[in-house]
Amino acid sequence: MRTPLLLLSRSCKSVHRLQQSPFFSPLTALSRQQRIAVLRYSSTHSCEDDKSYYITTPIFYVNASPHLGHLYSAVIADCLHRYKLLQGFNSRFATGTDEHGLKIQQAAEAAGKDPLTFCTDVSERFKHLFNSCNISYTDYIRTTEHRHRQAVKHFWSVLCDKGLIYKGSYEGWYSTQDESFLTASQVADALDSSGTEIKVSLESGHKVEWMKEENYMFRLSAFRSQLLDWLRGNPGSVQPERFYHAVLHWLQEDLPDLSVSRQRSRLQWGIPVPGDAEQTIYVWLDALVNYLTVAGYPDKHEQWWNMAHHVVGKDILKFHAIYWPAFLLGAGLPLPQTIYVHSHWTVGGKKMSKSLGNVVDPLERSQMFTTDGMRYFLLRQGVPDSDCDYTDNKVIKLLNAELADSLGGLLNRCTAPALNPAQVYPSFCPQSFPSEQGGRAVVEDYHMLDAVRNLPAVVEQHYESTHVYKALEAIAACVRKTNGFVQRHAPWKLDRRDSEDQRWLDTIIHVSLECLRIYGTLLQPIVPGISNKLLSRLGVRPGERSWADVNFLPRYQGMDCPFEGRALGSDSGVLFSRLESQNLDKQKPKKTKTANSI
Ligand code: ME8
């Protein structure tokens, strides 16, 4: 019975997704058998439960203030969450802070604060950043919360009851910075800033120390073949593909059991092992369970947990694509649907770090370049597959070109009283722009229509795979095409006293406003403030901005256009003000320190 049910629920999901596309005739794209199954299923079931979506960011360590990379992860997840809402999903979006572990214990000590006060202070800074940057999380989790401690203890007990945790003796390398155990092949020799020989993690470059402790071990080695089966059976489980292959590659290597506790004498700041007050639960096991805590674990997590998607940086891929699925398999819980991995932002080609003094403060930058400006930049320039280098100049150039000049300029032209004195969405004239050539439109105009008509499907595909930069590239290309259309026909040169010219002028503006309406709708997950301003200026009401509303230029297809003849919204100023680089110099952050030897 299991397989047919799964098939039906998947069919239901794909039909739902396809139904959202305005250019799709729902059932035709499925095979006959699938169609029958879907129809039979939908006659007795609603797709309600299939419309849940749960997206998470990593929970961030509170040992230091948030930086640009943290905002980047949050913006990616926020974009997916907003996109799913536009598609009519019931989406939940969790972020928060990871507050236990040796690293935090030491940071609190160094700050001379008790750990909880220290964690609360820094956690508030993350919250403030996310609120300031329009990160529309629905849940903010702190691992020091009671609900989370309960979830972790329960999860631990389930693993224990299943015989997956045993007491053993761990001897090996540990990186406190990464809160990670390493094998000999994962460490290398290095010199610290004072010239002393140390060992470092090959992957992160962080210092490692030898530790020997009696603690609890998780039977990770027992899950290797199940993990391989999961990955091979779900090629989309880890995206982009490059990271999927990295995980498969890791699984070819030795997969030793994992130490999942530390001696209480060394680590007090954490959740005690149930039934053994001498041991503290390993911070990564504790942290990963946050995703379940938010979903309502252990009592009522199914609705959300079956639809979970994680956004993570490449640095924590192993924890999410190996340890976490193994823990979940052990606990008998479903695995995440997708792990979306992204690469890192570097500065001057180097990883951002406090010791290098090259940390970019995201709050300061979003004040300088606006919140939407930073969101647009991060998603337009951030390529999940490879690292990107950050400079303020890149931000200024990109935002001036694409938001101020191209998109803002287009809106300005088409709504300026000189061209649009009545301040309405003017009429489309099918004789001026017929579906076959012969009117006043030229071949490039037809190409532009094709590009904009296909844009929602293109954007959808890229949003789904978190290649948001490709979606933005496609939108930017269409905006340029629409500007080219206006430029080519120079409506300001037309003679308004001539009725044919007037109709053509109206048509040019109508088509351009339709393009802008599509761009504004599709950009909502990226730049919610700018999109709102743009759509409001066009007179598009809040209830007309969903993914189902992206039917482009209905008049061209002989259908009614609800906007035709409608008054434009009030002019609330330029869409995005050009950024001046002179102002930037005055506000530039402190000088960068020289790099140390690690
Ligand atoms: O690892 N570029 O927390 P963390 C892009 N608490 N993203 C970056 C980045 C950069 N330069 N630096 C960090 C932890 N990030 C754990 C996670 S989850 C159960 C526990 C982002 O504060 C990226 O998402 O070190 C990375 O994976 C995460 O911040 C690490 O944050």
User: How remote is the CA of residue 390 from the centroid of ligand 1, in Å?
Assistant: 17
Q: For the residues 181-199, what does the mean pLDDT come to? A: 89
Provide the token pair at 581: 């680089």
For residue 22, say if its preceding peptide bond is cis, omega within 30 degrees of 0: no
Q: Report whether pLDDT(403) > 90.
A: yes
Residue with tokens 């006959």: 32
User: How remote is the CA of residue 570 from the centroid of ligand 1, in Å?
Assistant: 42
- The CA-atom distances, in angstroms, between 182 and each of 192, 289, 324, 523 are 19, 22, 17, 43
Q: Report whether pLDDT(591) > 70.
A: no
Q: Do 487 and 404 form a contact (C-beta atoms < 8 A)?
A: no
Provide the token pair at 60: 């961030």
Query: DSSP assignment of 330-398, as one string?
Result: HHT-PPPSEEEEE--EEETTEE--TTTT----HHHHHHHH-HHHHHHHHHHH--TTS-EE--HHHHHHH
Q: What is the per-residue pLDDT for 454?
A: 98
User: How remote is the CA of residue 415 from the centroid of ligand 1, in Å?
Assistant: 43
Would you place residue 504 in the very low, low, confident or very high pLDDT band (cuts 50, 70, 90)? very high
User: How remote is the CA of residue 481 from the centroid of ligand 1, in Å?
Assistant: 38
Q: For the residues 487-499, what does the mean pLDDT come to? A: 96
Q: What is the per-residue pLDDT for 160?
A: 98
**pLDDT tens string 433-457:** 999 888 999 999 999 999 999 999 9
Say how far apart CA 154 and CA 164 lie, in whole Å. Answer: 14
Say how far apart CA 368 and CA 393 lie, in whole Å. Answer: 12
Ligand 1 atom closest to Cα of residue 346: 11
Q: Report whether pLDDT(506) > 60.
A: yes
User: How remote is the CA of residue 67 from the centroid of ligand 1, in Å?
Assistant: 10
Say how far apart CA 68 and CA 310 lie, in whole Å. Answer: 19
Q: What is the per-residue pLDDT for 50?
A: 73
Ligand 1 pocket: which of 98, 104, 317 to mutate (most atoms within 8 A of CB): 98
> Of 248, 247, 259, 186, whose CA–CA distance to 219 is shortest?
259
Q: What is the per-residue pLDDT for 512?
A: 98
User: How remote is the CA of residue 346 from the centroid of ligand 1, in Å?
Assistant: 13
Q: Report whether pLDDT(136) > 50.
A: yes
**pLDDT tens string 330-376:** 999 999 999 999 999 999 999 887 777 889 999 999 999 999 999 99
Would you place residue 596 in the very low, low, confident or very high pLDDT band (cuts 50, 70, 90)? very low
**pLDDT tens string 530-546:** 999 999 999 999 999 99
Closest Cα to atom 27, ligand 1: which residue? Answer: 313
Q: For the residues 373-382, what does the mean pLDDT come to? A: 98
Q: Report whether pLDDT(26) > 80.
A: no
* Residue 117, phi-psi category: left (phi > 0), alpha (psi -120 to 50), beta (remainder): alpha
Q: What is the per-residue pLDDT for 12?
A: 37
User: How remote is the CA of residue 516 from the centroid of ligand 1, in Å?
Assistant: 36
For ligand 1, residues with CB inside 6 Å are: 58-61, 69-70, 72-73, 98, 287-288, 290, 312-313, 315-316, 344-345, 352
**pLDDT tens string 27-48:** 333 333 333 333 233 333 334 4
**pLDDT tens string 266-325:** 899 999 999 999 999 999 999 999 999 999 999 999 999 999 999 999 999 999 999 999
pTM: 0.88
Q: What is the per-residue pLDDT for 40?
A: 31
* CA geometry: angle 50, 54, 60, nearest 5 deg: 170
Say how far apart CA 251 and CA 321 lie, in whole Å. Answer: 10
Ligand 1 pocket: which of 104, 316, 345 to mutate (most atoms within 8 A of CB): 316
**pLDDT tens string 72-120:** 999 999 999 999 999 999 999 999 999 999 999 999 999 999 999 999 9
Ligand 1 atom closest to Cα of residue 344: 2
Ligand 1 atom closest to Cα of residue 314: 27
Ligand 1 pocket: which of 57, 61, 78, 123 to mutate (most atoms within 8 A of CB): 61
User: How remote is the CA of residue 144 from the centroid of ligand 1, in Å?
Assistant: 19
Can you state the percent helix, strand and coil of the chain, rounding each to 5?
50, 15, 35
Closest Cα to atom 4, ligand 1: which residue? Answer: 60
Provide the token pair at 438: 């012969």
Closest Cα to atom 29, ligand 1: which residue? Answer: 70
Average pLDDT, the chain: 89
Say how far apart CA 547 and CA 544 lie, in whole Å. Answer: 9
Say how far apart CA 457 and CA 468 lie, in whole Å. Answer: 13
Would you place residue 583 in the very low, low, confident or very high pLDDT band (cuts 50, 70, 90)? low
**pLDDT tens string 208-248:** 999 888 999 999 999 999 999 999 999 999 999 999 999 99
Note the Cα 477 to chain centre separation in Å.
22
Would you place residue 582 in the very low, low, confident or very high pLDDT band (cuts 50, 70, 90)? low
Ligand 1 pocket: which of 62, 72, 80 to mutate (most atoms within 8 A of CB): 72
Note the Cα 267 to chain centre separation in Å.
33
Closest Cα to atom 19, ligand 1: which residue? Answer: 288
Q: Do 578 and 402 form a contact (C-beta atoms < 8 A)?
A: no
Q: For the residues 391-412, what does the mean pLDDT come to? A: 97
Say how far apart CA 452 and CA 478 lie, in whole Å. Answer: 6
Q: What is the per-residue pLDDT for 25?
A: 31
Say how far apart CA 505 and CA 527 lie, in whole Å. Answer: 30
Is 196 strand, coil or helix? coil
Q: For the residues 399-416, what does the mean pLDDT come to? A: 97
Ligand 1 pocket: which of 62, 65, 73 to mutate (most atoms within 8 A of CB): 73
Q: For the residues 574-586, what does the mean pLDDT come to? A: 77
Say how far apart CA 380 and CA 479 lie, in whole Å. Answer: 15
Q: What is the per-residue pLDDT for 24?
A: 30
Amino acid at 443: V
Q: What is the per-residue pLDDT for 584?
A: 56
What strands lie across the sheet with 345-347, from one edge to the other?
A: 350-351, 345-347, 388-389
Q: What is the per-residue pLDDT for 198?
A: 92
**pLDDT tens string 175-188:** 888 888 888 888 99
